[in-house]
Chain A
């Protein structure tokens, strides 16, 4: 398509990756067309290894052939390289930007790792992960406050950072024997609100599909 060639954007990604989904959502929010290139992580391509020699991971954004790695760095790059498109980090407010970075960093540090322990571990490790998961979700709900989105009325950086994980809530609920709706009703409402956005609806997989994927991973790792 003419759009892709003109802007020269390509995304090396893996379908279920919440980190990759952050980039897909950001690109769609900004109305930027790009070429999606699904990667085989069991058999990494030359392109991926050349684009991200340090981590050999997805997502990688290629802009006119130059690679940008790490999902939140990619999202910030899109904001800065395409200033005429809707901004995700709040414009003209350094303090609000700092808050957004803090909470995106919190999601990065806490959520994925805890979720992984929730479906991988048993016994004490599992119990610990469950307690932590509830605390993480409650903390995030606290950060959301009374706003429609994190940071207020506009869908932005922290929403992009967190929303892919809403597809994982069902998985956390089943493996953690918890209910996001019950523990954090405001967060659950925020997730529903985000799901109404075309960029989110288009790019997230149904929660059952994510659950199926994780069950498959457990089998492959021999975890029962």
Chain B
């Protein structure tokens, strides 16, 4: 892989969907980088000094300068390495605005309710509401995919684009949630385009090289849920 434009280092957590987005972008652009696995219980000096505001991963460090927040990182990779590999954002300003809109929608309507549900402290009613919100978001995304792809394989068209990376980073966790919550989110009957997109995305070389292992994510999620439930029981 090309080592162009200086030194790249990515601070991450293997299971994080936000880190996966950054890895996907680097992989698709053909950029090599050093990966550093962080320990959330014992954050490195480098992480704390690189992201003092949020103290979170992913952090991309390019020639010693840190970039934080997955959406900012992915756009930075596209921008700083514009001449390398395919572009993630389209050239047309209006299409760029549409892509940014749908990536922001994902955070707002899919990630937020889902994050809340997986912390293991929700009531039955809250879980039900969260699932409803996620299903509604997936239904809307089906329409978005139809609009953005116009019959082509990805949100980005013929090739993977910004929204594909944003959603692709979440893919293993969406599948894991289907098992953990007993709800089919990517249902070929309800959202055929998205279901087909998910299969197609997962089979990409870039995805195979970067997406975390499904079985490992399930085990990790169950452990975290168990720990949260145990903590909750202890405090009650």
Interface residues of A (CB under 8 A from B): 54, 63, 66, 68-70, 73-74, 76-77, 80-81, 94-95, 97-98, 101-102, 105-106, 139
Given contacts A98-B75, A105-B69, A139-B53, contact A73 B100 (CB under 8 A): yes
Interface residues of B (CB under 8 A from A): 53, 62, 65, 67-69, 71-73, 75-76, 79-80, 93-94, 96-97, 100-101, 104-105, 140
Mostly, the A contact residues are helix
Given contacts A54-B140, A95-B65, A139-B53, contact A66 B100 (CB under 8 A): no
Mostly, the B contact residues are helix
| B62: chain A residues within 8 A (beta carbon) | 95
Q: Kindly identify which residue among B65, B69, B80, B101 contacts A73, using a CB–CB cutoff of 8 Å.
A: B101
Q: Kindly identify which residue among B79, B97, B104 contacts A98, using a CB–CB cutoff of 8 Å.
A: B79
Contact (Cβ within 8 A) A95 B67: yes
| A70: chain B residues within 8 A (beta carbon) | 100-101, 104
**Cβ contacts A to B, 18 pairs, < 8 Å:** A54-B140, A69-B101, A70-B100, A70-B101, A70-B104, A73-B101, A74-B97, A80-B93, A80-B97, A95-B67, A95-B80, A97-B75, A97-B79, A98-B67, A98-B73, A105-B69, A105-B71, A106-B53
| A101: chain B residues within 8 A (beta carbon) | 69, 71-72, 75
Contact (Cβ within 8 A) B72 A98: yes
Given contacts A95-B67, A98-B79, contact A77 B72 (CB under 8 A): no
A54 to B141, CA, bound (A): 10
| A69: chain B residues within 8 A (beta carbon) | 101
Contact (Cβ within 8 A) A77 B97: yes
Contact (Cβ within 8 A) A81 B72: no
Contact (Cβ within 8 A) B94 A105: no
A66 to B72, CA, bound (A): 26
Contact (Cβ within 8 A) B94 A66: yes
Contact (Cβ within 8 A) A77 B93: yes
| B94: chain A residues within 8 A (beta carbon) | 63, 66, 68, 77, 81
A163 to B96, CA, bound (A): 25
Residue in B closest to A105 when the chains form the complex, CB atoms: B69
Contact (Cβ within 8 A) A81 B93: yes
In angstroms, how far is the closest chain B Cβ from the Cβ of A197?
25
Contact (Cβ within 8 A) A102 B72: yes
| A66: chain B residues within 8 A (beta carbon) | 94
Residue in A closest to B78 when the chains form the complex, CB atoms: A94
In the A-B complex, list the 8 residue pairs whose CB atoms are closest, starting with the nearest: A80-B93, A94-B79, A94-B80, A98-B76, A81-B93, A77-B97, A101-B72, A68-B97
| B73: chain A residues within 8 A (beta carbon) | 98
A81 to B96, CA, bound (A): 10
| B140: chain A residues within 8 A (beta carbon) | 54
A63 to B140, CA, bound (A): 24
| A76: chain B residues within 8 A (beta carbon) | 96-97, 100
A154 to B96, CA, bound (A): 25
Given contacts A80-B96, A105-B71, contact A73 B76 (CB under 8 A): no
20 new A-B pairs (CB below 8 Å) besides A63-B94, A69-B101? A66-B94, A70-B101, A73-B97, A73-B100, A73-B104, A74-B97, A76-B96, A76-B100, A77-B93, A77-B94, A81-B93, A81-B94, A95-B62, A95-B76, A97-B79, A101-B71, A101-B75, A105-B69, A105-B71, A105-B72
